[in-house]
């Protein structure tokens, strides 16, 4: 189980080695999320239309280790964009992956860019 978690490490935009095309922008719901596969990773991608911004994070919820975060609801806490896990509603910042309920969980976040209507996610592997 720990191995599963260890696969996911945050990537900052300047570190990106490879931008991966993960689909067309219109295939992602507005103000919602969907999941993509890259190698053996599952990544949740959010089209935060209200903020005109895209976010990506691991699909794995660190609480019970289920692949569900892309199915969660997004929103903000005092301006910080966040996702709420659909299982037990723990919430995570989409900016830095920190848990917003004051718990010790953290998720990995990835940079996203949109080019000619395609969605790209930045990886270092």
Partner 1 sequence: MRKIVVVGNGMVGYKFCEKLMASPDRENFQVQVFGEEPSPAYDRVHLSEYFSEKGKNELLLAPRSWYEDNGIELRTSSLISEINTEKKEVVTYKGEKVSYEYLVIATGSSAFVPPIKGSEKTGVFVYRTTEDLDAIKTYAKKLQKKYKSKATVLGGGLLGLEAANAAKELGLETSVVEFAPRLMPRQLDEAGSNTLIGKIESLGIKILTNKATSKISGEEEIDALTFSDGSRHETDMLIISAGIRPRDELAKSSGLKTGERGGIFVNNKMETSAKDVYAIGEAALYNNAIYGLVAPGYNMAEVAVSQICGGDKTMAAHIDMSTQLKLIGTDVASFGDPFIENEEISAITYENKQSGIYKRINVSRDGKKLLGGILVGDASDYQNLFQIYINGMKLPENPEDLILGSRGGENTAMGSVTDLPDTAQICSCEAISKGDICKPLESGECCSMDDVVTKTKASTGCGGCKPMVTDLFNATMKSLGKEVKEVICEHFDFNRQEIFDLVKINKVQDFDEALNLFGKGHGCEKCKPVLASIFASITMETANKQVTIQDSNDKFLANIQRNGTYSIVPRIPGGEITPDKLMTIGAVAKKFDLYTKITGGQRIDLFGAELHQLPEIWKELIDAGFESGHAYGKSLRTVKSCVGSTWCRFGMHESVSFAIQIEERYRGLRSPHKLKGGVSGCIRECAEARGKDFGIIAVESGWNLYVCGNGGATPKHAILLAEGLDDETTIKYLDRFLMYYIRTAAPLMRTAPWLEKLDGGIEHLKKVVIEDSLGIAEDLEKEMQGLITNYECEWKQAIEDPEMMKRFKHFVNSDEGDDNISYVPLRDQKMPRAWT
The yes or no reply on residue 123 touching partner 1 (CB under 8 A) is no
Stretch that binds ligand FES, among 27-35, 43-51, 80-88, 117-125 (CB under 6 A): 80-88
Give one DSSP letter per residue of 31-85, joined into a string: TEEEEEEETTEEEEEEEEGGGTEEEEEESEETTTTEE-GGGSEEEEETTEEEEE-
Report CA torsion sign: 55, 77, 14, 37.
negative
CB 110 within 8 A of CB 22: no
Query: What is the spatial distance between Cα 81 and Cα 89, in angstroms, rounded to a whole number?
Result: 15
Q: What is the distance between the terminal CA atoms of the chain, rounded to a whole angstrom?
A: 21
The yes or no reply on residue 79 touching partner 1 (CB under 8 A) is yes
The yes or no reply on residue 66 touching partner 1 (CB under 8 A) is yes
The yes or no reply on residue 18 touching partner 1 (CB under 8 A) is no
State which residue, 14 or 78, has the beta carbon closest to partner 1.
Answer: 78
Among 66, 75, 76, 100, binds ligand FES (CB under 6 A): 66
Name the site residues for partner 1 (rule: CB under 8 A): 1, 4, 22-23, 27-32, 34-37, 42, 45, 48, 50-51, 60, 63-68, 71-79, 81-82, 84, 86-89, 91, 103-105
């Amino acid at each position: 189980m720990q191995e599963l978690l260890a696969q996911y490490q945050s990537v900052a935009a300047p570190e990106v080695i490879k931008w991966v095309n993960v689909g067309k922008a219109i295939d992602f719901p507005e103000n919602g999320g969907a999941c993509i596969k890259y190698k053996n990773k599952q990544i949740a991608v959010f089209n935060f239309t209200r903020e005109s911004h895209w976010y990506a994070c691991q699909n794995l919820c660190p609480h019970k280790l289920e692949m569900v975060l892309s199915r969660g609801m997004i929103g903000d806490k005092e301006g910080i964009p966040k996702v709420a896990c659909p299982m037990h509603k723990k919430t995570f910042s989409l900016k830095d992956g920190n848990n917003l309920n004051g718990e010790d969980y953290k998720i990995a976040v990835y940079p996203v860019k949109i080019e000619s209507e395609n969605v790209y996610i930045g990886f270092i592997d």
